[in-house]
């Protein structure tokens, strides 16, 4: 892709649950105009189960504002789509990935360093998308978007592109793990804290017992005292 061909915006909603509210918003005139103003030339939309409905909406558009709009149901090679939204020096300008705030997608997009806008799906219950989206921006992983405010989210995303010089990244090289270890611990620990508090409580209990046992061993080194009671507590 030539750098002069403009930016690409990818919208993804996942393979199973529909998100027609997001799909409808990305083809509103004000959003298409916003894309054009930032030199986006292509909008690719992964529609999931709403493909037929969305394709009909695109066909009915009176003006696409110079944006090439394409849609598909799903592909197993979504990571390749994310890479095409990633800036690369002398090759392409950074675009953006607008996602439904699923944790798997967030991790994959972060690996590619493509600009990210996460929009939680309000129709899905107990899936922690709100919590995930809420932590994305403070940690610098991307922008937390909301339905009805996508033009603002796109503007803020482009500010991050400029600040991070994301138009001039080196060629992409896939890593064996999604994110660097330091960031991986931050994200995964946060997910456990928010989504699985009982697991976190159990792990903290074991950690505290381990510290007590270590202290007890050091204090009683050489005395041969039995740690059976403490060990039983750890097992319980």
Q: What is the pLDDT of residues 175-197, one digit of tens each?
A: 655 555 555 555 555 555 555 55
Q: Would you state the structure tokens that stand for residue 97, as one six-digit string?
A: 């990935």
Which pLDDT belongs to residue 1? 46
Amino acid 132: pLDDT: 75
Residues 6 or more apart whose Cβ sits within 8 Å of residue 21: 121, 122, 123, 147
Contact by Cβ (8 Å): 75, 41: no
Query: Taking a C-beta distance cutoff of 8 angstroms, is the pair 44, 74 a contact?
Result: no
162 or 231, higher pLDDT: 162
pLDDT in the model for residue 153? 97
Distance separating alpha carbons of residues 225 and 70, to the nearest angstrom: 72
What is the overall mean pLDDT for the chain?
A: 81
Q: Is the pLDDT of residue 88 over 60?
A: yes
- Non-local (6+) Cβ contacts of 99 within 8 A are 11, 12, 13, 105, 106, 109, 116, 117, 118, 119
pLDDT at 231 over 50: no
Task: Please state, in angstroms and rounded to a whole number, the distance separating the CA atoms of residues 31 and 29.
Answer: 5
pLDDT band at 102 (very low <50, low <70, confident <90, very high): confident
pTM: predicted TM-score of the whole model, two decimal places = 0.73
| CATH superfamily of the domain spanning 3-178 | Glycogen Phosphorylase B; (3.40.50.2000)
């Amino acid at each position: 892709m030539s750098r002069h061909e403009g930016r690409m915006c990818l919208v993804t909603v996942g393979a199973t649950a529909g998100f027609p509210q997001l799909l409808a918003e990305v083809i509103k005139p004000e959003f298409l105009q916003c894309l054009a103003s930032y030199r986006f030339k292509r909008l690719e939309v992964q529609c999931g189960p709403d493909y037929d409905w969305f394709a009909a909406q695109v066909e009915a558009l009176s003006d696409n504002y110079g944006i090439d709009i394409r849609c598909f149901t799903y592909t197993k090679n979504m990571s390749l789509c994310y890479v095409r939204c990633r800036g690369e020096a002398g090759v392409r300008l950074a675009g953006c990935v607008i996602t439904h705030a699923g944790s798997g997608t967030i991790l994959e997009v972060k690996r590619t360093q493509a600009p990210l806008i996460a929009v939680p799906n309000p129709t899905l219950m107990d899936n922690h998308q709100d919590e995930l989206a809420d932590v994305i921006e403070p940690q610098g992983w991307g922008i937390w978007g909301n339905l009805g405010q996508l033009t603002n989210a796109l503007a803020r995303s482009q500010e991050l592109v400029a600040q991070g010089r994301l138009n001039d990244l080196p060629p992409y090289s896939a890593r064996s793990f999604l994110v660097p270890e330091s960031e991986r611990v931050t994200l995964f620990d946060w997910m456990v804290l928010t989504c699985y508090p009982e697991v976190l409580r159990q792990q903290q209990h074991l950690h505290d017992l381990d510290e007590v046992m270590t202290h007890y061993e050091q204090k009683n080194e050489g005395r041969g005292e039995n740690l059976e009671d403490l060990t039983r507590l750890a097992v319980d």
